[in-house]
Structure 1
Amino acid sequence: MNTPALPAVPKGPEPALPHPLPGAVGLSHLSAYDWEAADGVCGGSPHLHLVCTEAYVVTGGRGAVQTLSPDGYREIPLEPGSVAWFTPGTVHRMVQGGDLRITVLMQNSGLPEAGDAVFTFPSEVLADPERYAAVATLPPGTGAEAERAARGRRDLAVEGYLRLRETLVAGDAGPYAEFQRAAARLVRDRVPRWRELWRAGALAAAERTGAQLDALQAGEPSYLGGATAYETAPTRLGGFGMCGRRDEYNLPGVTLPYGGE
């Protein structure tokens, strides 16, 4: 597939993650959308990730996350202190129950921002990469135009999601499996870039641990001489994410256009 399936990500310099968060995870804060959808439910845009596990740590309010996976449909309640996570291929939809606020931890920092997410748009949109990209891409900023586009994107994702959920609940997993295949086709051209980010981030972090264990076993912990601390703060507040208004962080070593949860 030669046509870009998702908004283009500038190539830029080679990624470098010398000091990522533990495990090279990504971090953001979300306030779930309170927009009502066609089924009367308030919440975000259903979607899946292809290679990243995602976790919700609930810090306030009430709500739920609806999921579709080979083991069926679930609705997991969310309240302060709850933790829920879902593996690649799981369709998830954040549901607002009242001032729901969540800290999101994403595996493989940088990959979601580089496009590791596909909305549950109807099949005719998924089959047309240019049409998909046009609907999935939001105008810059956090104003009224961006809000209208984000809400329209959410509504289209819910339209496709409800079809998938209906057939899955009825015992027919075929449309859900086809959606997964369509999602994989859309992102296929991005895999080389994702591989670069993975090597520089999560893989490098794991390999550093191996080198540190080797040094400790050899009785030469000189790497501890480089010990230090880091801090960061949100670089954009209230952006329109997939699930809700999103506070974003530029973590050490990765500067990419916004495109995550």
Structure 2
Amino acid sequence: MTAHDTGLPGGVAVSHLSVYDWPAVDGGCGGTPHMHLACSEAYVVTGGRGVVQTLTTSGFEATPLRAGTVARFTPGTIHRLVDEGDLRIIVLMQNSGLPEAGDAVLTLPPEYLTDPQTYARAAAVPADVPEAEQERLARARRDLALEGFRALREAEGPEALAAFHRAAVALVRPRIAEWRERWRRGAEAAVRATGLQLDQLEQGEFPHLKDAAVRSQQPSVQGKFGMCGRLDVYEN
């Protein structure tokens, strides 16, 4: 591995998602609404059909998803995947490592957003418990987040959403130094490497070309209980 190898191109993370078909209290099936604070996200729909529901300061939207659709959104977009028939997606995440380090905050009711410990108890799905218990916990946190999501949708005026933003930022602030280091090793390093390569090419030099390589991999984890569905995760 060369000094300029930062994983997938541009420090991006990839996973394969099979969206939950669990019915919810509102009649829809699907995953847990949440928001990323520093990472953009893109969905490449590979099969099935469904909808991604989003909530921002501009209001609520529902974007249809079917095979071939690419949907993308920026940090601050609360999103919920709804499965309408075997919805399967390749998920691309900016800043590989940050989403896994807590960049996503679920739309739990306000009483669960008061401090990191309270939030973690409501949001955690430990990998070292039986699969049936993991599913129970994942469904419970999904249903709890839907309560908060519904309240945010129904609130009049911008204050409820602003309050959720403030609570989410307070939850993650203790981890920003760790995030910054992950970003430096990943996405920032990829940008620096490209800048160096352009400088070298401009001078007629090409040392990076002799280090060209091909790599492939299988998922490091399969069927993980993610926020939106069962995940096949690839190491970056």
**Could you tell me the TM-score, scaled by structure 2's length?**
0.96
Shift of 1:129: 2.5
- Aligned: 1:39 with 2:26: yes
Aligned to 2:106: 119
Among 189, 214, 218, the residue aligned to 1:229: 214
- Aligned: 1:163 with 2:148: no
SS at match of 1:113: helix
Does the 8 Å contact 1:32/1:243 carry over to 2? yes
- Aligned: 1:210 with 2:195: yes
SS at match of 2:100: coil
Seq. identity, %: 58
For 1:64-75, list aligned pairs within 5 A: 64-75=51-62
What amino acid is the match of 2:27? G
Aligned Cα root-mean-square deviation (Å)? 1.2
Q: For 2:231 and 2:213, how far apart are their aligned partners in 1?
A: 29
Among 80, 86, 101, the residue aligned to 2:67: 80
Which segments of 5 or more consecutive residues in structure 2 lack a partner in the other structure?
none
Shift of 1:17: 7.5
**Could you tell me the TM-score, scaled by structure 1's length?**
0.87
Q: For 1:144 and 1:49, how far apart are their aligned partners in 2?
A: 28
Does the 8 Å contact 1:26/1:105 carry over to 2? yes
Does the 8 Å contact 1:57/1:83 carry over to 2? yes
SS at match of 2:81: strand
Kindly provide the CA deviation profile for residues 148-175 of structure 1, in whole angstroms up to 9, marking residues without a partner as x. Answer: 00000100000100000112xx5x1210
Kindly provide the CA deviation profile for residues 74-109 of structure 1, in whole angstroms up to 9, marking residues without a partner as x. Answer: 000000000111100110000001000000000000
Q: For 1:105 and 1:163, how far apart are their aligned partners in 2?
A: 29
Does the 8 Å contact 1:67/1:90 carry over to 2? yes
Aligned to 1:147: 135
Moved more, 177-186 or 128-137: 128-137
**Which 4+ stretches in 1 moved above 6 angstroms?**
none
